[in-house]
Amino acid sequence: MAIVLPDLPYPKEALEPYISSKTIDFHYGKHHNTYVVNTNKLIEGTEFSELSLESIISKTYGDSLKVGLFNNAAQVWNHSFYWNCMKPNGGGLPTGKIWDKINSDFGTYDKFVEEFKNAGATQFGSGWAWLVIENHKLKIVKTPNADTPMVHNQKALLTVDVWEHAYYLDYQNRRPDYLNTFIEKLINWDFVNTLL
- Model confidence, pTM: 0.97
Task: Please state, in angstroms and rounded to a whole number, the distance separating the CA atoms of residues 74 and 68.
Answer: 10
Q: Which domain holds residue 73?
A: 21-84
Task: Please state, in angstroms and rounded to a whole number, the distance separating the CA atoms of residues 194 and 174.
Answer: 31
Task: Examine the domain organization and report whether 105 and 80 are in the same domain.
Answer: no
Within a domain: 13: no
Within a domain: 142: yes
Please report the pLDDT score of residue 1 as a whole number.
74
Please report the pLDDT score of residue 12 as a whole number.
97
With contact defined as beta carbons under 8 Å apart, do 90 and 82 qualify? no
Task: Please state, in angstroms and rounded to a whole number, the distance separating the CA atoms of residues 184 and 196.
Answer: 21
Q: CA of 67: how far to CAs of 105, 150, 170, in Å?
A: 35, 16, 31
Task: Examine the domain organization and report whether 78 and 101 are in the same domain.
Answer: no
Distance of CA 47 to the CA centre of its chain: 27
User: Which residue ranges in the chain fall short of pLDDT 70?
Assistant: none
CATH number of the domain to which 159 belongs = 3.55.40.20
CATH number of the domain to which 59 belongs = 1.10.287.990
Task: Examine the domain organization and report whether 104 and 68 are in the same domain.
Answer: no
Task: Examine the domain organization and report whether 113 and 138 are in the same domain.
Answer: yes
Mean pLDDT score of the chain, rounded to an integer? Answer: 97
Task: Please state, in angstroms and rounded to a whole number, the distance separating the CA atoms of residues 46 and 35.
Answer: 18
Among 57, 84, 111, the domain boundary falls at: 84
Q: What angle do CA 135, 138, 139 make, to 5 degrees?
A: 105
Within a domain: 9: no
Q: CA of 126: how far to CAs of 8, 108, 133, 141, in Å?
A: 22, 28, 23, 14
Please report the pLDDT score of residue 54 as a whole number.
97
Task: Examine the domain organization and report whether 74 and 163 are in the same domain.
Answer: no
Q: Residue 163: helix, strand or coil by DSSP?
A: coil
Query: pLDDT per residue over 101-120, tens digit each?
Result: 999 999 999 999 999 999 99
